[in-house]
Structure 1
């Protein structure tokens, strides 16, 4: 998840699994271990000091950022959960084995393109991740047969505004607009 951002390309992986941590260390530096021995094919993905400094400052607020994103997701769930035209992500805390930091808040929506246009008219930005292109690009790599469920998903998925800087009023504004589009007074 990209909860924290630096000023350029960069990132970090957080894990409590030693084997994952070791693999990530190898992947970040051409597959070299602490002794300089190449153990696997990998990338040059080291984080420079300047980017690390920006991320380090943000780490102080990491828990609050995640908590706020989860509050926003819960508010979307509360406001939009009763709409039959939408499929929402699992609610925060709905599954003890599932901890979503809600980097994105992606819904499945009937009449997705019309909803997106309506929200745009209301001054509400949304995103369509991948736009349905990826599944067709993989066909050239030998992906077998048609994927009707996947292709259907690409026509329904829409990312709603999600940022720890959103106010509750702004989230309510998004929810009100979606309810109005579908003709509900939720």
Structure 2
């Protein structure tokens, strides 16, 4: 049996006619940059997320970069975030000449340990970026409380968490700004790169709109120095089709997570496999189903040989990356993140998986540990 980590072809087969019709309409219009298609997607996501404003941009990375820019982050500033995340989170900080200041993660959720945030804040701190990793929100109540007490902006990296909620509030609408990615592997993925910034602040939204077109509101009149971060109409057309299916696909992922939990328990693998934990009050959308395992790399190789796709998110924490040696961190600085980098393994979780495929994954993992 073959079980890929993600099967976008299975998803596409369900929606092919609608997607092709949407793409053909854009081609007939011959209007490809921003325009009505992007504006319609922005309105759709405002309604879906309950956000006052949504601004389409070229990628999730740009969403973070633009959000930090409108918060005034620049050279000499510090931004608190986690070392266990995709590089774009910290890279966007560095691109503005600011310094990423890392806080370790919790061992159960892989998200920022909010209890450690206050001690990392200094007079140079300008913002906090909690990452809603793998599809569930970080502890926003405490993070927002710390930020409010110090006058800091909270920029949510919700790239993996569209549709996730905390106490009923949507990821990306709790902080000052929210950042989303439409990379194809995301729960709402386009046919290429794309991103979105959400905010409840009209002035910030307008600044993002300006910055995404070289700091301009009127053609050839530049009030700020921005750059090119425009969302394409073709991507917006695809995403509008997919958005109508998002809740259905999310429930499929959540259903598969529940089935995994039952199957792992039935296989009596609790001493070898640590399953994902969902915080009380969180609605987890399972962009990834990430377990902790012993002999991770050996298990991954075994699963590959048996036709099962997996991925390691993330094998090297950011504080251990070559480009961040100058920050002065060393091995042991963030032990929880370092342990996660050794143990974490993401399994197939997409909505179209069958029960037989899920069972095959668990049975194959059980077979590995019966020999090890």
Q: TM-score scaled by structure 2?
A: 0.42
Counterpart for residue 115 of structure 1 = 299
More deviation, 63-72/172-181: 172-181
Counterpart for residue 164 of structure 1 = 351
More deviation, 76-85/119-128: 76-85
2:200 to 3, 18, 24: 18
Residue 23 of structure 1: how far off its partner (Å): 4.5
Provide the aligned length of Structure 1 versus Structure 2.
176
2:369 to 167, 178, 182: 182
Determine which structure has the larger strand proportion and give its number: 2
**In the alignment, is residue 30 of structure 1 matched against residue 217 of structure 2?**
no
The 8 Å contact of residues 6 and 55 in structure 1, kept in 2 or not, is answered as yes
Change in 2 beyond 3 A, CA 1:5/1:25: farther
- 1:133-152 to 2 correspondence within 5 Å? 134-137=318-321, 139-147=324-332, 148-152=335-339
Change in 2 beyond 3 A, CA 1:23/1:131: farther
Residue 102 of structure 1: how far off its partner (Å): 0.6
Unpaired runs of 5+ residues, structure 1, are: none
C-alpha RMSD over aligned residues = 2.9
Take 1:43 and 1:54, find their aligned partners in 2: how far apart are those partners?
24
Change in 2 beyond 3 A, CA 1:149/1:71: same
The Cα offsets for residues 108-141 of structure 1, whole Å up to 9 and x where unpaired, read as 1111011111111211011112322633116424
2:284 to 76, 97, 100: 100
Counterpart for residue 125 of structure 1 = 309
Change in 2 beyond 3 A, CA 1:37/1:57: same
The 8 Å contact of residues 253 and 286 in structure 2, kept in 1 or not, is answered as yes
**In the alignment, is residue 64 of structure 1 matched against residue 248 of structure 2?**
yes
Residue 170 of structure 1: how far off its partner (Å): 0.8
Change in 2 beyond 3 A, CA 1:73/1:7: same
